[in-house]
Structure 1
């Protein structure tokens, strides 16, 4: 990207920063479902002493898989069939724990910015609630309650393991060229079954801004069809109650078949879909986004299709293209601010050291009934964290997608 273009993007983000307080002040409630967990976070270079040790075969295979993904700059999510894995890793590696899940991460960045968000949360154990920021809302007996005041109940679930790595920092003899994280599931935690969340969100659908559904990739295949029907009915009730936007953030599935089953099974229940660029390619999206994104959006009956990557975000939209470009930029800004701070924060400035690369569309592109717009993201080569950045982007988008006047009921 030319220096002039980089300056233009810097100015565009500074202008958005000036408008951000007004966007937050107008924010309506966002529904954030449908999977919550606690992440067990491991700094991937910490595994180096184990690489040459006398580890069992399953451990060696697992560690080699992690190093190979880091070498190739691949993050993503994988399901690993190694029942002893969590205990083996916990006995040998330093672990930090934090709140996890697309819905909770989106709610976390929204509340950090000052916007209201309620999260689906079946697990109300002390272990879980001690990880949920107090300002995030949960549903309790027909009321919105700050998580810090929620009643404790239930048992905690097994943790999801997150292995973070940073560009230029060695993992044994491998030096990654890209910063990312690898999400590892040793089980299928399923979705949240939070009856209080379901009832309250249906009742308040007409006054809310947007609803997020996610985490179907964490459902075992033999239970997936039932969860599609259950959450699809909930999302349909949101739409019938007046909610303008139901946004589905895809996530990394074990198989393309399960991914497609979810996309088609929920068709008509969500009007906006978000995915990483690698997920888009995995679904067979055309290399030319101006061709592939409208085609995919038409196939799925969408109003908006969002594709996000390290250096850019793009949208094919049938709505207000200028507002939707603001949504992309808000998502990128909030994600970059989290990457710089290491935790969700309200953006106050462009992160120091952020750089810009080219975005797919310099100007809006028209393709039939679709308009395509994009933005360059403020990219940090060595962030303080890579955890939850895609989910943070989603939260930032929802802040703007939910800005319209309340739908007429």
Structure 2
């Protein structure tokens, strides 16, 4: 006989109709109570649960409800003859009762139990097969959606048509011996992580760009352009934080994002006045430094959470944007406080930038788009250095500001090229 559990919810008033089971010693299985039904079912793994009750009681409903209508085994309800209306039948089905068998004292208890068992187990087997088929259908639909999303990522990032994107996915799946859906899911996730890394890296750059703009306005260099850049940078921070909040939800990077958000709120409050006095610049710069550090921690947290080493190149390139802006910021801040050329203050950053640029140029991740972007950055870097050497003059400072903005455009393009490269997307 199949393993069976029984749940007896009858009382003294119900003994009469149960007498047939007791007299004939019909096996109802190992007894358990409503309070530990789920635990006993999980440990015993029965094929049938026999419930004895005067009717569909609240106590029985409470015992079965934890399964949400999908018990792990067949459920047979045995009661004396009762009037079963539509509401009771619907409730029984909602609780996952597969058969409701009732009988009187004159009926054969063993036969009633046998027939009820057969019906309950047949229905449970049918329900289980249907659930599995439904789960497979949902899985296939999810996989198809994931493949479509991955094709969209490749079409957008690499300029492929749909058939080329699908062929690339299929080839990648064959190369790593994985299902097409698994590779597609990895592509979508990699694109999301790369976007998050890029946005977190932008926060580093924007922290320095906003201070540079404050210094630029204090020096009365292209005030209108500075105001536009400040507004655009502020909006860019808000947009990136909003997107990162969605991308980091449920990941280990949430705490780092919360700290970066707090640092930004403090910096935004200091930048809020229409005019900022010279004696406030040091405080604003300190707040920006905190945001820079928090954004750096966030970027590292995202890289670790992603588990994708290929994203390291996105991080390196994104950090270059920050360095270029910080070099320009240091030069303008120095011009406000000292007539001395700022080359000494920026020397370490200059060395870091050039070392990182050599690393990018020597990296195996290359494409015509990346090579072209690297060459453009090299040319713009020379212009930024020229502006830095003449930063003691107003014309030199204007040239430096212009070069830092053009450098930002070039580095944005390079970072996007790395973000959308096949090596990063396919991991």
Considering fraction of residues, name the structure with more helix.
Answer: 2
Query: What is the TM-score of this pair, normalised by structure 1?
Result: 0.23
- Greater RCO, CA 8 A, separation 6+: 1
Considering fraction of residues, name the structure with more strand.
Answer: 1
Query: What is the TM-score of this pair, normalised by structure 2?
Result: 0.22
